[in-house]
Amino acid sequence: MSEIQNLEFKNMLPGQGEAVHALVLKSVGAARGNGFTPPGRVAFERYASPEAIERRGSLGYSHELVYVSDALAGMIELKGPDRISMLYIHPDYANKGLGSRLIARAASRCAEADPKAKHMTVYATDDAVNFYERVGFVRNGSRKESGGVFSTPYRLSLKAKGKILSAKLHGNAVEFFVFTGTGNSLLVAQTVTEVLRQEGLSVQLGSMDKPCPEALSAESAIGLAFPVACFSTYPTVWRFIESMPAGEGREIFMLGTCGGVAVGMQGPLRKVLTKKGYKPIAAKFFLMPGNYNNKTLPVEKNAARVEKSLLEARSFAYDLLRGGTEWSGGIPMLSAFCYRLGQTRKPWNFFYKLFPISVDEGKCVRCKRCANDCPAKAVSMSAGTEGYPVINPALCESCQRCVGFCPAGALHVPGKPAEPYRAMRYEDFKTAFGQ
């Protein structure tokens, strides 16, 4: 989906009802019109007439319009600060993030106008339900008919855990650094990236396998994505974080993927980053398929987890933009303990003892993928033309990348499924960072 440029947001002025009406008709014409009975359609046409739009403008409804290169591309109408009564995007600009942008702006205005406001609400017609769910609205009632139109009540939370959400990503650029063993974290990071790009931000993906670039752009916010491992994260990720330059007030967010128990490593990480001068604004964990301790691959359960988490990732991206995020402090004592332990070799040595990686030389095609891609430089090829992978347990971090992406299934954790888990094709992993 291409990024939209030359966006301008303006309040509707008296006399613009005709132009807004034309936009609504174009948009409705492109939709299927599900859920409208013939009388409902007539009522809608009355509601969307130029005169009715103008009249509501004079009665205190607010209308914000979005223009792309001076062409009217979308509109939102609000009754009071928190009730969306119309939202339409010209079909030429559909699915480019304009609708969510109008909502994000309305949500910020709503939170500013009424700090006690808890929700924005909408009665979504059938054609609009998917859109509202995608941008984070939650259904809070049953589908009903009124005046010949079927609609379902939805609301968008402006609060989290009792606190008004305030943290928000400012600026237009993100440098997003990712570590992934088997692809889960990369998949979630790519989903967040897709939404941010749709919303007009420039996002650059980088790998945490290497140290952080010494110079980060002054305008960029920073994103970090990585797996939870041994209730902390891999030494490679911590090495990357250590190598990050001074934050100089840059906003930073993190997303972690986990198989079930994250424990709260975001707490110690927040401390480290704050000390470096970053401004932590959002930390969120996503439940993804576990990648080591299954005897068999639960394919359907994994697919359901991925689907749910990628939806949550989209919501997370919108929360970043409209100011709906937080970075909590972790679990007192326990998080700090796991963090300190994760800095030593102890958990990784223990893990390797429990789940060593064996090499089946009969299957190995000696492509060297495992050696070249190991982030910990724990895999080398034995000497000679018939060289096979050799794992150094003292360096291995058990991230499962070599196992997951071996093209021949030659690397294997004994007792684990013959077909190891991976979240994506090797080619997609390799090209994600522009390699």
Ligand X SMILES: Cc1cc2nc3c(=O)[nH]c(=O)nc-3n(C[C@H](O)[C@H](O)[C@H](O)COP(=O)(O)O)c2cc1C
Applying CB under 6 A, which residues contact ligand X?
A: 180-185, 227-231, 257-262, 288, 290-292, 351, 398-400, 423
Pick the closest to residue 84 from 40, 135, 22, 34 (CA basis): 135
Q: How far apart are CA 249 and CA 271, in angstroms?
A: 14
Residue 98 or 192: the one with the smaller Cβ distance to ligand X is 192
Provide, rounded to whole angstroms, the least separation between the CB of residue 326 and ligand X.
20
Provide, rounded to whole angstroms, the least separation between the CB of residue 410 and ligand X.
19
Residue 36 or 348: the one with the smaller Cβ distance to ligand X is 348
- Residue closest to ligand X (Cβ): 181
Provide, rounded to whole angstroms, the least separation between the CB of residue 304 and ligand X.
15
Count CB neighbours of 91 within 10 A. 14
Residue 88 or 348: the one with the smaller Cβ distance to ligand X is 348
Tell whether the torsion through CA atoms of 309, 313, 315 and 319 is positive or negative: positive
Provide, rounded to whole angstroms, the least separation between the CB of residue 431 and ligand X.
16
The alpha carbon of 49 is separated from its chain's Cα centroid by a whole number of angstroms, namely 38
Residue 24 or 229: the one with the smaller Cβ distance to ligand X is 229
Residue 28 or 423: the one with the smaller Cβ distance to ligand X is 423
Residue 74 or 420: the one with the smaller Cβ distance to ligand X is 420
Beta bridge partners of 11: 64
**In sequence order, what DSSP letters do the residues of 16-62 get, joined into one string?**
-HHHHHHHHHHHHHHS--TTB-HHHHHHHHHHTSHHHHHHHHHTT-E
Provide, rounded to whole angstroms, the least separation between the CB of residue 234 and ligand X.
8
Residue 196 or 357: the one with the smaller Cβ distance to ligand X is 357
DSSP code for 167: B
Provide, rounded to whole angstroms, the least separation between the CB of residue 265 and ligand X.
9
The CA–CA distances, whole Å, from 68 to 7, 92, 109, 166, 209 equal 5, 10, 22, 28, 39
Provide, rounded to whole angstroms, the least separation between the CB of residue 92 and ligand X.
37
Tokens 């030359």, residue located: 6
223-262 burial by CB neighbour count: b if 16+ within 10 A, else e? bbbbbbbbbbbbbbbbbbbeebeebeebbbbbbbbbbeeb
Phi/psi at 423 (5° precision): -90, -15
